[in-house]
């Protein structure tokens, strides 16, 4: 992974420019109202967002106990990219580290025991790239001004639901955003590859927002649950709370 200075290019790749007002006018009503509610319309464009996460993880559905975790993430909007570093404590003096990233249209994930010995590496292929793109899109609420950017288009589903489509680096992903009566975002769903092997199939991934707070002039999610809808039922694998959220802080 490149360092932060190189990680964000800031290039527009020659995409046609529209003013924020023009972009906002073309959005579904629910998305318009959501951006108004979050404060995104009056906020400077978000180029990057840094945050920390404290939570619990289950690596497998059959796992009975939750594993404590701490992580840090940085995401960029132009072009779309993110890096997520997690540390999970398995027992006294035993921990596992993981790195999940999306850069230049390529996704990657690695897990190491003690931060040294590799115990898992996701195959870096089109399925990994696609799943990483979908993750980025699902996390749009941390950088809502990107909803007005050149990479994302919107389609209205109903008065409180809209589908976002993200196109970047030859990839295309979609996610459905659900809003409540006050037009606050309550849930995001996307079909993603949970695994990257040849036999893996798309699985519905859901991010449920449990709490939101106003940070730096924006109302953003701070408590979230991430689940997969497996054939055996819903598997909630990650529950966390976000803190130390900083915008445009390189």
Domain count along the chain: 1
Structure confidence at residue 127 (pLDDT) = 93
CATH of the domain at 195: 2.50.20
CA 195 distance to own-chain centroid = 17
Structure confidence at residue 139 (pLDDT) = 98
Structure confidence at residue 20 (pLDDT) = 65
β-pairing, 80-91 with 67-77? antiparallel
Per-residue pLDDT of the chain (250 residues; tens, 9 = 90+): 444 544 444 444 334 455 666 677 789 999 999 999 999 999 999 999 999 999 999 988 999 999 999 999 999 999 999 999 999 988 788 888 889 999 999 999 888 765 544 444 566 799 999 999 999 999 999 999 999 999 999 999 999 999 999 999 999 999 999 999 999 999 999 999 998 888 889 999 999 999 999 999 999 999 999 999 999 999 999 999 999 999 998 6
Structure confidence at residue 181 (pLDDT) = 98
Distance CA 135, CA 129 (A): 10
Structure confidence at residue 115 (pLDDT) = 54
Q: CB under 8 Å to 6, separation ≥6 — which residues?
A: none
SS3 53: strand
Structure confidence at residue 196 (pLDDT) = 83
The beta strands (E) that lie in 144-247 are given as: 152-158, 161-168, 171-179, 185-193, 202-215, 218-230, 233-247
Hey, what's the torsion of the CAs at 115, 117, 120, 125, to 10 degrees? 90
Domain that holds residue 71: 4-247
């Amino acid at each position: 992974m490149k360092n932060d200075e190189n990680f964000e290019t800031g290039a527009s790749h020659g995409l046609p420019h529209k003013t924020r007002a023009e972009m906002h006018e073309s959005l579904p009503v629910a998305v318009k109202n959501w951006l108004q509610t979050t404060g995104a319309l009056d906020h400077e464009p978000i180029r990057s967002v840094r945050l920390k996460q404290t939570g619990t993880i289950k690596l497998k559905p059959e796992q009975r106990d939750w594993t404590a975790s701490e992580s840090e993430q940085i995401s960029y909007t132009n072009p779309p990219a993110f890096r997520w570093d997690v540390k999970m404590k398995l027992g006294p003096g035993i921990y596992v580290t993981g790195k999940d990233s999306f850069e230049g249209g390529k996704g990657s994930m690695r897990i190491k025991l003690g931060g040294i010995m590799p115990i898992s590496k996701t195959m870096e292929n089109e399925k990994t790239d696609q799943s990483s793109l979908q993750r980025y899109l699902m996390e749009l609420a941390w950088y809502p001004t990107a909803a007005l950017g050149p990479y994302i288009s919107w389609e209205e589903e109903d008065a409180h639901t809209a589908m976002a489509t993200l196109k970047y680096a030859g990839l295309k992903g979609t996610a459905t955003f659900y809003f409540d009566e006050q037009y606050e975002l309550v849930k995001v769903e996307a079909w993603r590859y949970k695994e990257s092997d040849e036999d893996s199939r798309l699985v519905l991934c859901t991010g449920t927002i449990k709490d939101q707070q106003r940070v730096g002039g924006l109302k953003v999610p701070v408590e979230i649950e991430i689940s997969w809808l497996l054939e055996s039922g819903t598997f909630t694998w990650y529950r966390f709370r976000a803190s130390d959220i900083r915008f445009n802080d390189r």
